[in-house]
Amino acid sequence: MPTPGSLVHVMSAALRMPEVTVGSYYRKLREAELLSKSGRGRSAAETTPLDAARLLIGILSSSTIKDVEAAMTLFAGFFPCPSSGFEWTLAPELKDLGLRHRLDEAVATIIGSQIGDSYAMEKNVGFKRLSVSQRGLRAIIQFGPDESLRYLHEGDPEYWGPRDEDSGIVNEFMVLSRDARQGLQPVFEVGEDVLSMLALAFRRG
């Protein structure tokens, strides 16, 4: 497994961002105890695919480094929309997670599924693209031209349908939607090349 420094280096190359910027995102999330704890020297922690997924989601969903903790926590906790009608055979690993899995778990699973050298021959994950939108308060994992899995805040009417207006979770979503309309960044996307580069970091260790 890669060290924090190695993960930051690979993430920087994958997203074509300055390494110092990615490092700042990483430190902010680690200080919030959202990533694996790290030591020094031989005791330095090894990162996990979940660390990589959370760092990636944090960078994609935050407007600034100071916002990364809140943005990552929000989007990483989104659930698949039950009405997606997704064909699970396209991603058997995600099926094993169950319908109530989180977005960060899904991205970590996709990264982890690519770590083995036999991935190309034995796996049937057709991941193509991850999109994160603060304006729309949703994320999408696309697996083919017409197959995608939407991840939503569970207060979104599209998630379970209309709810009681007094529901706390609905009110939370309404506040988030209002704030999102006030100028948060639009959709950001990464393709299969980015997750493949991250997986390569774990293969190399």
Q: What does pTM read for this prediction?
A: 0.87
Which 3 state secondary structure label does DSSP give 84? helix
Could you give the CA distance from residue 75 to residue 58 in angstroms, rounded to a whole number? Answer: 8
Could you give the CA distance from residue 156 to residue 138 in angstroms, rounded to a whole number? Answer: 9
Instruction: Identify the weakest region by mean pLDDT among 72-76, 93-97, 99-103.
Output: 93-97
Per-residue pLDDT tens over the stretch 22-64: 999 999 999 999 998 765 555 557 899 999 999 999 999 988 8
Average pLDDT value for residue range 172-176: 81
Could you give the CA distance from residue 32 to residue 93 in angstroms, rounded to a whole number? Answer: 29
Residue 110 has pLDDT above 60, yes or no: yes
Cα dihedral 47, 51, 53, 55 sign: negative
Share of residues in the chain with pLDDT > 70 (%): 80
The whole-number pLDDT of residue 118 equals: 43
